[in-house]
Amino acid sequence: MKARFLVLALLVMTAVAGFAADTSALRPPKGARVAIVVFEDLQCPDCARAEFILTDAQKETGVPLVRHDFPLPQHNWSFDAHIIARYLDTKSPAIGEDYRHWCFINQTSINKQNLRGMSERFAEEHKVQLPAFVDPSGKLAAKVKADFELGQQLGVQHTPTIYVVSDTQRGQPFVEVVERTQLVQMVNSMKAQVAAEKPAVKTAKKK
């Protein structure tokens, strides 16, 4: 019985240690102290509903919006759309961002059969041509899968999963957004938290 308990305790400790290490990914991009991070699925209706909340919050607060691919297996065109978005990122990050936004707006009109044709028209309107094979080497698919695996490691179980993250050295460096109407307030609270650290850091350096 003791042996079983010790094994169970070891497994729990290992899982907790692994989770703690994984959360290091929930940090803002270089040059930012606070950011909004979202794991999303381009075919997810709830992600489409959250899109304008996210982009409006980004504009209002001035913090980066970091998107991670999390195409759910039950959605039949999402994975391909994420690969196309990744390809468009290589041409222009702004076009890639516009494509994701476009997917959410036109989600109900897109299906497995017309995704390619509709995406080609989007690309043409943005003066980009989609090649016959968007990802011949599989590198873009690998990036999408890596994002999905990262989400799994973090415990993401649904889309969208939204976090407000920071580079704070005190308190909680990230928090999951449960009530989306509070997103702007949560971002501003996190900004105030990290701003309050600046005097302490300067004082420490003077000492």
Which value, to the nearest 10 degrees, does the dihedral of the CA atoms of residues 110, 93, 193, 54 take? -20
pLDDT digits over 30-54, tens only?
999 999 999 999 999 999 999 999 9
Name residue, tokens 């305790």: 9
What phi and psi values does residue 157 have, to the nearest 5 degrees?
-125, -5
CB 150 within 8 A of CB 137: no
**In this predicted structure, what is the pLDDT of residue 198?**
64
Left if phi > 0, otherwise alpha if psi is -120 to 50, otherwise beta: which for 196? alpha
Task: List, for the chain, all residue ranges whose pLDDT scores fall below the cut of 50.
Answer: 1-21, 199-207
Taking the model in full, what pTM does it have? Answer: 0.83
pLDDT digits over 157-189, tens only?
999 999 999 998 777 799 999 999 999 999 999
| Count of Cβ atoms closer than 10 Å to residue 101 Cβ | 15
Domains of the chain: 26-206 (3.40.30.10)
**In this predicted structure, what is the pLDDT of residue 40?**
98
**In this predicted structure, what is the pLDDT of residue 204?**
46
